[in-house]
């Protein structure tokens, strides 16, 4: 999936991946796609919760060798 912006949160623990997502989204336009990579094991459910609460759509999550890759569409 093509992303308009990519952030690397690998090695960061809760709450930083969510804080980074929020910051990145605030610099983007509605409809744009954010890609984030994280290794925090809690990030899978944290990002899903963030997305459902804020209305930014979680388009895809995949896992590649211990790294979670998220695609979020800015509301």
Point out the residues that are catalytic: 14
Least distance between another protein and beta carbon 14 (Å): 7
**Which residue, 2 or 30, has its beta carbon nearer to another protein?**
30
Residues that bind another protein (CB under 8 A): 11-16, 18-19, 21-23, 49-50, 53-54
Q: What does the angle CA 69 – CA 24 – CA 16 come to, to the nearest 5 degrees?
A: 65
Residues in the chain: 75
Question: Using the 8-state DSSP alphabet, how is residue 31 labeled?
Answer: T
Least distance between another protein and beta carbon 39 (Å): 10
C-alpha pair distances (Å), 22 with each of 4, 58, 66? 15, 13, 23
Least distance between another protein and beta carbon 51 (Å): 10
């Amino acid at each position: 999936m093509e992303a308009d912006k990519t952030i690397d949160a690998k090695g960061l623990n809760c709450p930083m991946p969510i804080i980074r997502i929020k910051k990145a989204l605030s610099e983007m336009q509605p409809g744009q796609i954010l890609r984030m990579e994280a290794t925090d094991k809690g990030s899978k459910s944290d990002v899903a919760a963030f997305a459902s609460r804020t209305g930014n759509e979680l388009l895809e999550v995949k896992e590649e060798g211990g790294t979670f890759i998220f695609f979020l569409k800015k509301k």
